[in-house]
Structure formats: C-alpha cells, structure tokens
Amino acid sequence: MKKKRLWVLLGSIVLILTLASALPLLSGCQSSQPQMYKIGITQIVTHPALDANRQGFIDQMTEEGFVEGVDVTYDSDTAEGDMSIAASIAQKFVSEKVALILAIATPTAQASVEAAKGTDIPIVFGSVTDPVAAGLVDGWDNPGGNVTGISDWADIATQIQLVLDICPECKNLGTVYNAGEVNSKVQIDELKEIAPGLGIESIVEATVAASADVLAAAQSLVGRVDAIWIPTDNTVVSGFEAVVKACEDNQIPLFAADTATVERGAIGTPGIDYYVLGRECGKIAARILRGENPADIPVKKVPMTDLYLNPAAAERLGVTIPQSVLDRATEIVTE
C-alpha cells in the first residue's frame, strides 16, 4: 500500500512538472497572436473628398493585411470645422497612445502634430496642399520627425486654363476662401502669380471664417467678377451649396479645384482622385506599422489624372461647354 501511495505521489510530481514546463510554450502560443493596432483618424470637416480619403485609406489597409477587427481598430472623429475640437480629438488619440494617427486635411494635421510633440506616435497626413508651409515636415523628400503623408497639391495653372477654355472672356476672376487655412493661402498666392500670364486682369477675393459665412462672401462678388473659382478650401467646400446658389441666382460661371464639387454644382475641374489619395496614405501607414521610419518616407503628390465636367450645371449657370473640352473629360456628371 505504501508503495502504491509512493507511485501516486511520484506520478503527481511528474504531472506537475510536465504542466509547469508546458506553461512557457502556452505563453508563446498566446504571444504569437496578431498584434491589434489602434489607429486614430481625424478629419476637419465632412465632405465627399475628405470622406473618400478616409475610405481609400481603410480599403488599402485591408489589402495590406491590416483587417479591421482582426489586426486593427479605428477611432474616427470629425471636428466639423472647429479647431478647438480638432485639438481635443488629437489630444485624445495621443493620451490613448494609438499606434498611428491619420490626419485628413491641413488643420487637423497641424493639431495632431502639435498634440504628438514629445511622443513617438507616427502621423500620416492626407489632403494637405503644402506640408512644408503648414509646418508639418522639414521637407518633401526628407520629412524628419514622425510625420509624412500624401499631398493634394494641384496645378493651379491647369485648373484656371479650364476656366478660360470654357469662359474665354473671363478677365476678373473671383474666389472665396478661409484665410486661416494655410492650404488655401498657398493656392491663392499661386493663383495671383500665374493670373497675369493667363490674361486674367484681376483676382477678386472674398474671405470667410466659417461655413456660415460662405453665402454672404459669394454674394459679395456679384457684379464684380466674370467667373468664380474655389480652391481646395475645407471651410468653403463644406458649405459649397451656398456658392452654387449665389452663382445660379446671378448667372456666374462656377469652377472649383475639388472634383467632388462638380457633382454638387461646379462646371468642372481637372483634379485628383481623393479615394486614390487615401489608398496612398494606407500604403504609407502599412510601411510604418511594419517598422519603417516616417522621417525616411518622402511626402508624395498624387498626379492630376481626371477632368470632371457637369454640362447640366454649366447650363444652369448660363454656360455651354465646348465640345472640344467635353472630348477631354474623364468623367461627365449626369444629374
């Protein structure tokens, strides 16, 4: 009987030792599970171009193997034009120590960079016109720090040439923008520089501070301009229907730099595809999550590949688009 007890005791000891030796292996199995990355997405306002940027990013991340709910979770928030909210969103992401921030548009990128100072949280921006002028990076080729991304820089001369191709008598060109947005200021400065060489005699400006100001600003241009062109200004584009109303009521040809505005009532624009831009952001984010340093990833521009035209909008604005221009279109908007 004593022998039996002894064997039972020895068997128990062996079992305990076996289980103890297996624990590190079990622990190793647990640690081999995919890492879950939390990504914060901050967007200055809701409008189609920026929404397309966000969706393109998420779709590309999925293709890169970062599947929502499996490898990655997203916390997406929109400031709706309020910079204090943009700062709060960025600070929240930093306090949560997210793996990466996608900042869509210049104001939210600036807020994110400010909030992440002193941390190693990488920031990928999208839909930023001039990241150097905005103080986001040291340079296009060598961003430095923990920030890089994709620019929506567009060739202003090509866009204004379209205005002249459709409205050749245009001498006084109006524009509405938020002077507080660095991206808009950069575009307006370039517009003023190229205008004389294109035969435009004056640029008539109307500035806004919020979307609620857009209608009054557009109406202030009535009787002073031959056409209106809107840059990729987040404030004005978010309230673009107000510009359309002022132009339709007064038969002023309306053009814009954002292709999504053509579906909303602009005559047309050559421009970039913001969904493609978002996918480029996703490619960069995937590289960073795999270990690359943002400082070593050059800022990229998305080429202008599209020409959007809206003949019905042109008709409402008292304009007929020449067939030679229609023949160049990549997208004819039908209503």
| Total tally of structural domains belonging to the chain | 2
Reported as a single tens digit per residue, the pLDDT across 201-259 is: 999 999 999 999 999 999 999 999 999 999 999 999 999 999 999 999 999 999 999 99
Q: Reduce the DSSP state of residue 271 to 3 states and report it.
A: strand
Residues 265 and 279 in one domain: no
Mean pLDDT along residues 271-276: 92
pLDDT of amino acid 29:
42
CA 319 to CA 206: how far, in whole Å? 23
Check residues 304 and 245 and name the one with the higher pLDDT. 245
Look up the domain containing 46 and give its range: 37-153+273-301
What CATH number is attached to the domain comprising 80?
3.40.50.2300
Residue 250 lies in a domain: yes
Residues 148 and 206 in one domain: no
CA 125 to CA 47: how far, in whole Å? 17
Residue 233 lies in a domain: yes
Residues 46 and 134 in one domain: yes
Residues 82 and 115 in one domain: yes
Order of strands, edge to edge, in the sheet holding 147-151? 72-78, 37-43, 100-104, 123-128, 147-151, 300-301
Residue 12 lies in a domain: no
